[in-house]
Amino acid sequence: MQNRIELSRLVQGGVQEKFNKEWDRVMRNIDDPNTSATAARSITITVNLKPDAKRKKINTNVTTKSTIAPDNPLETTFIMGTDNAGNVVAQELLFGDEDQTFFDNEGTVRTGTGETIDQDTGEIKSGTGNVVVFK
């Protein structure tokens, strides 16, 4: 009786297929620019063997699992202030500093929080009408 097993032939090649599936998953994760380029990835093949009471039969389960790198975190900055009613409000800073302006992709001048600026008067066109004091 031979006491060696070829993994590529185990379960009529099913183990190789499972490994290949995890291999593809890991390769796609390495290629994904939204993940760390240098993070370690792994593929685990687990073979569970459960013999019967007479030690004649061994029920076996083979599983594969891969560990991939998570997506890189996304970062943003919020600025805080109070409105006319004294409520604390926060708004995402889209560009630079809160007092800095920028041109969006359509050429519109906007504040650092994305509000449109009238190019003739320099006034901020706020959709809410509420005045917010950002400190």
Q: What is the pLDDT of residue 38?
A: 97
- Distance in angstroms (rounded) separating the CA atoms of residues 86 and 27: 53
In our burial notation (b when 16+ CB lie closer than 10 A, e otherwise), range 121-135 reads: eeeeeeeeeeebebe
- Which pTM value belongs to this model? 0.63
Q: What is the pLDDT of residue 97?
A: 66
What are 94-125's pLDDT values in tens digits? 776 666 676 677 777 777 777 777 777 767 77
Closest CA relative to residue 133, chosen from 93, 83, 94: 83
- Distance in angstroms (rounded) separating the CA atoms of residues 118 and 125: 7
Q: Do 107 and 116 touch, CB atoms closer than 8 A?
A: no
What are 31-54's pLDDT values in tens digits? 999 999 999 999 999 999 999 999
The conformational region for residue 96 under phi > 0 = left, psi -120 to 50 = alpha, else beta, is left
Q: What is the pLDDT of residue 128?
A: 54
- Distance in angstroms (rounded) separating the CA atoms of residues 88 and 130: 13
